[in-house]
Homo-oligomer: A and B are copies of this chain.
Amino acid sequence: MIQIHLTSPIGTAISVAVENAASILPTVRQYGKLGYTSGEVPSGGHSLPLANADDFDFALIGAHPYINKEGEACIMHRGQSYKRRELEAVENKKMSLPKIVKYSRGARPTDLPHVKEGEDGGIQYVTLLTFRGGGKKLTAYALNAVQQNAAD
């Protein structure tokens, strides 16, 4: 037996039992579509390979994508909106920065100090999710992933 620990949109903490590892991701997706999340967002946000950026299933973190009035790609997560930002690769004599795709929002007064990025006193933001680095794509996390055993 495996338990999956989840938090509902109004904060109710539950643990859902599933038969085996193959049921972990489908169950997380099912609840995630309803806004249930699992665990804590680490300080600085989640980090996944860049190869996952284009078809990541946001239901896996209890978020859903939408387009705002300005036509920007966003995701809604626990009642807060995060904008997609693409930082193109920089490759010159001075520096070498790889491409990054991230979802972030402006900081709020009630955010904990260490989750805020950017100059203190200046504009600060909070990152939920960053896709970066040449790591192998985690295909199980794709939107149209064939069911597969989370522990295979």
A-to-B contact residues, CB < 8 Å: 1-5, 7-17, 21, 24, 28, 30-31, 34, 38-44, 46-48, 60-61, 76, 78-80, 108-117, 127, 130, 133, 135, 138, 141, 150-151
Contact = CB atoms under 8 A, between A and B. Distances in A.
Nearest to A21: B16
B40 A17 contact: no
B115 A10 contact: no
Stoichiometry, copies per complex: 5
Contacts of A78: 42, 47
A10 B46 contact: yes
23 contacts: A1-B17, A4-B14, A5-B13, A7-B39, A10-B46, A10-B61, A11-B38, A11-B40, A12-B24, A12-B38, A12-B60, A42-B78, A43-B110, A43-B111, A44-B111, A46-B79, A47-B79, A47-B80, A48-B79, A76-B135, A110-B114, A110-B116, A112-B114
A42 B9 CA distance: 11
A110 B12 contact: no
A12 B39 contact: yes
